[in-house]
Structure 1
Amino acid sequence: MGADTYLKTIEDTIKNGRFKDNWDSLSGFEAPSWYEKAKFGIFIHWGVYSVPAFKSEWYPRNMYIQDSEEYKHHLAVYGEHKDFGYKDFIPMFKAEKFNADEWAALFRQAGAKYIMPVAEHHDGFQMYKSGISPFNAYEMGPKRDLIGEMKEAFEKQDMTFCVSSHRAEHWFFLSHGKEFDSDIKEPLVRGDFYWPSMPEPDHHDLYGSPPNQTYLEDWLIRCCELVDQYQPKVFYFDWWIQTEAFKPYLKKFAAYYYNRAMEWGEEVAINYKHDAFHFGTAVPDIERGQFAELKPYFWQTDTAVAKNSWCYTPNNDYKTSNEIIRDLVDIVSKNGSLLLNVGPKADGSIPDEDKQILLEIGQWLKVNGEAVYDSTFWRIFGEGPTEIEEGQFTDGKSKVFTSEDIRFTVKGGTLYATLLVYPENGVVAIKALKEKSIHFQGIIEEINVLGFDEKPAWERTEEALIIQTRHVQSSAPVVFSIKIN
């Protein structure tokens, strides 16, 4: 389908659908019930940048910045940029060990309910069969529809399929290659891998050179093509779409996507950052961070198993599974969901470190998942002395929780209290459940500790609900299920 025809299809769908391309109409969006219940998903950063696997997925940009570590590495390993540029990694991206069914089995074992591969990163290489540009995984590199294979495998395992697009930043992502003798040269035309490589914004100017109509229409069509071909249930956007030039096109995309979902009879959502979307028209996402307090609206954190990179590198600085589990519990208690990223190798295999972390999370969720899945927030999210630093990019430092840090969720007639760090002496004090508490004045009928045979002793005092165990020991969070009346 040509660009003009696709744009007309988009306009016709908006014209004839319930959702129009304005914020008033899009405010009719409601977060999907399946999404609010899922709580835990897997993000996947995998692409041509996984071939050099140096520093991070921003290698394609940084390799063209003179005197950067990536630039020096590229010269030392691959030679002059005019002779071997980023495009020359594409034939090396073969995905020869990629097996979507194996990935699906692993992610299911990890306890994930939804999976979100990056369909196109800033580098502009499409991981799927596309009619827009030949620079896609079906025509080059692996010569396979990688996104299509993932969708089929994940849905067979009853996991919800989603996609992410980071295309917006491609406007400037490779622009530094024009500053010296590299393989990025004018003329660059629509459909070229390096097109358009325009001047990059600095930290004080989000715009740089605002995207032109041709680029914005191309961006819109790429997004709608993903919707039409793969029917994702969540569509995630990275940053830079919040800039003014994108606003009319964001509204068109949202209206198109929501209307198409109504045709399918499905509940879908869009993830956004930085107020790119009007509040209430999509689901807000916090990159590598979280909220300090409970929110009345559903939200998501996206973070990675590694602190330093979203993609695979041999030197990734990994978090521990217990760190991630504690963050998951904290996020869910505040009405959020955790999207956890892994970075496969270029050959399609998932690193052993990523696997181990996922399996350990899955083992914990197998025992304690009833406090997470299908749960909702309580009157307060929790208690304890440890303060969560709010905002983006705050997950670089490990949080030091104590045995007084407790998080609450509720499902039906059960209140769950999760001890982020279990006390060595087995004595737990939950202040929010004390006698005559302003938060809870009901009747506690029974208390159990998930995953342990021991029946805990307990009593309510004027200071706290005191729970005593003798044999419970765990380096991971411990969950009490409290039957209430």
Structure 2
Amino acid sequence: MKIKTLVALSLLLTAGANVPAAPYEPKWESLDRRPTPAWFGEAKFGIFIHWGVYSVPAWAPVGQYAEWYWQCVLSKDPKKAAWRPYHEATFGAGFDYRDFAPQFRAELFKPEQWADVFARSGAKYVVLTSKHHDGFALWPSTEASRTWGRPWNAVETGPKRDLLGDLADATRARGLTFGIYFSYYEWFNPLWLSDRKRFVDEHMIPQFKDVVTRYRPSLIFNDGEWEMPSAGWRSEELLAWLFNESPVRDEVVVNDRWGGETRHKHGGYWTTEYAAGLADGSHPWEENRGMGHSYGLNRAERAEDYRSTRELVLLLIDTVSRGGNLLLDIGPAADGTIPPLMEQRLLEIGDWLRVNGEAIHGTRPAARAAQWTEGKRPEQAYGDYQVRYELLEQVGQQPRDGRAVKQVFFTQKPGTLYAITAGWPGRTLTLHDVDLPAGASVTLLGVSGELKVERRGAALVVTLPDLGPDEAPSRYAHVLKLPGATVKR
């Protein structure tokens, strides 16, 4: 009873403001008028979880996706030539991927422990794969086992447990918003291979409505849409049901993956994947990526293949400063444990957010996303993933020419501007084109007392505390709070 009460309260709190109750027609011109519920723009940071049968082999060549194991082992694409030899050498030439399902036991899965880690990370929402492209469902989906002709959900085989429901309850009990990833298509589903229309009508749509009705997700990350246009998936009809009739019609947030033609055009927030994100917040958007390269656990990835906590914190800051959300993925093991390196990254991000989270959660971009205070950097940084990461890796470092690269990111709330410095800025920080009201009290988050501020021409010079290496309030980046300040366009 207590958990049900907390779930109901969580759903009320996550309901989006200003989402009209008027019916939406099953047409994009009507569906696209629905505003994204307000909670999504406030949350900023979420946890993505790829977990399923593919977590048993948990392998891919470094740089590829381990959750695509089944498809890649059977692929004839020369770029995937390493998969089949690995599979045959490790499991045997005749071993069927579907026989991994009983080995996906999740015997050490403790949803409350997962939820504790997520809450301590500073994330505000959690998105679990309800099923990936292999079609294996983490809830008691009758459609999954019926169309596959064998037990193909986590309640009938493997864990023999409702993994989706257990995590939904645990995360909501910690005050987090719960969402799901849902794959439209399934690589080798017999019905998909024989009759796509029947697959949509008799399998996909009933399964989608079942998982939404059972677990009431406040976010749906749809995927696998590229195989057909939205008309083939009946997406307009499905979204009209979701927005008009479903139990989450008021608070549900959806992405833009509803047909081969819909990304960055139709649906809710725009998605970017292992990319630089978008330049501004003119439309809600979210960058999603893993800590290494794979979403599902890849045992071939080593520590050096993972982004450092510093890089992930700067990625979060950079994304939020441009109006986006960051959905950071973890890939748990088949036994239900979160790999320690992934857990460490999350907890260290949480350490930073405990001090500086007010400059992230609930903020909006300032007029200018960032200032490079020293060094000339290319404008294409916002459009190119590799260039962007090269720049973030240099922030606060000492390049070969001896000039320190400094960057200031800006976020804002009504009446307050936040200037976020990548790395410790030194004894003074110069801000250009910032208007600060006379007498405003400028502070450094995590440190008591006001900071000295001088106006030198068009520049604002802030004197920071004389702190030793172990006295800084946080690591990786630091936040100045400037009440009443604005950034000139």
Q: Could you report, residue by residue, the CA deviation over 1:317-343 in whole angstroms, capped at 9, with x for unpaired residues?
A: 211111111111111111111111001
Indicate how the Cα distance of structure 1 residues 167 and 153 shifts in structure 2: closer, same or farther if over 3 A, else same.
same
With the length of structure 2 as denominator, give the TM-score of the two structures: 0.81
Residue 45 (structure 2) pairs with residue 40 (structure 1): yes
Q: 1:226 aligns with which of 211, 224, 227?
A: 211
Q: Equivalent residue of 1:133, what SS?
A: helix
> In structure 2, what is the equivalent of residue 80 of structure 1?
93
TM-score (norm 1): 0.82
Indicate the residue corresponding to 2:427 in structure 1.
Answer: 426
For the pair 1:303 / 2:289, whether they are aligned, the reply is yes
Alignment correspondent of 2:454? 459
AA in 1 matched with 2:154? A
Match runs of 1:359-438 below 5 Å: 359-384=347-372, 385-387=376-378, 388-390=381-383, 399-402=393-396, 403-423=405-425, 425-433=426-434
Kept in 2: contact 1:243–1:276 (CA 8 A):
no
Structure 1: 5+ residue stretches without partners: 1-15, 175-187, 199-210, 434-439
Q: What's the CA shift string for 1:160-205, capped at 9, x where partnerless? A: 010011232x2xx35xxxxxxxxxxxxx743xxxx52x8xxxxxxx
- Structure 1 match to 2:17: none
Hey, what does 2:338 align to over in structure 1?
A: 350
Return the offset for 1:264: 4.9
Native 8 Å contact 1:294 1:380 kept in 2: no
Which amino acid counterpart does residue 140 of structure 2 have in structure 1? K
Counterpart residue identity of residue 337, structure 1: N
Work out which of the residue numbers 252, 260, 277 in structure 2 matches 1:291. 277
State the shift of 1:219 in Å.
2.2
| Contact 2:104–2:159 (Cα < 8 Å) also in 1 | yes
Residues 242, 276 of structure 1: 8 Å contact kept:
no
Q: Distance in 2 between matches of 1:86 and 1:63?
A: 9
Q: Deviations over 1:5-29 (max 9, x none)?
A: xxxxxxxxxxx97122101221231
Q: What is the identity percentage for the equivalent residue pairs of Structure 1 and Structure 2?
A: 29
The offset of 1:465, in angstroms, is 1.1
Range moving further from structure 2, 231-240 or 446-455: 446-455
Structure 2 counterpart SS, 1:380: strand
Query: 1:295-326 CA deviation, whole Å, 9 max, x = no partner?
Result: 322211111111x2111122322111111111
- 2:421–2:477: 8 Å Cα contact kept in structure 1? yes
Partner residue, 1:469: 464
Q: Distance in 2 between matches of 1:394 and 1:152?
A: 41
Within the candidate set 20, 25, 46, 2:25 is matched to 20
Structure 1 residues 297 and 251: alpha-carbon distance in aligned structure 2, compared to 1, 3 A threshold:
same
Secondary structure of the 1:21 match is coil
Query: Which amino acid in the other structure matches residue 91 of structure 1?
Result: P
What's the offset of the Cα at 1:453? 3.7
Letter in 2 for 1:111: G
1:98-109 map, 5 Å: 98-109=109-120
RMSD in angstroms over aligned alpha carbons?
2.5
Secondary structure of the corresponding residue to residue 312 of structure 2: helix
Contact 2:453 2:463 in 1 (8 A): yes
**8 A contact 1:404–1:429 mirrored in 2:** no
Which residue of the partner structure matches residue 137 of structure 1? 154
The change in CA–CA distance for 1:137 and 1:395 in structure 2 (over 3 A counts) is farther
Determine the C-alpha separation between the residues in 2 that align with 1:225 and 1:99: 25
Please say if residues 241 and 247 of structure 1, whose CA atoms lie closer than 8 Å, have aligned partners that are also in contact.
no
- Residue identity in the other structure for 1:314: R
Q: Aligned partner of 2:432: which letter?
A: K
Q: Secondary structure at the match of 1:381?
A: strand
Bigger shift: 361-370 or 244-253? 244-253
Alpha-carbon offset, residue 292 of structure 1: 5.4
Deviations 1:139-159 (A, max 9, x none): 111111110111110100010
Q: Measured at CA, do residues 278 and 250 of structure 1 come closer, stay the same or move farther in structure 2, by a change above 3 Å?
A: farther
Q: How many residues align?
A: 426
Residue 138 of structure 2 aligns to a residue whose secondary structure is: coil
Q: Which runs of 5+ in 2 are unaligned?
A: 1-20, 61-65, 146-151, 397-404
User: Which of the residues 441, 449, 452 maps onto 1:446?
Assistant: 441
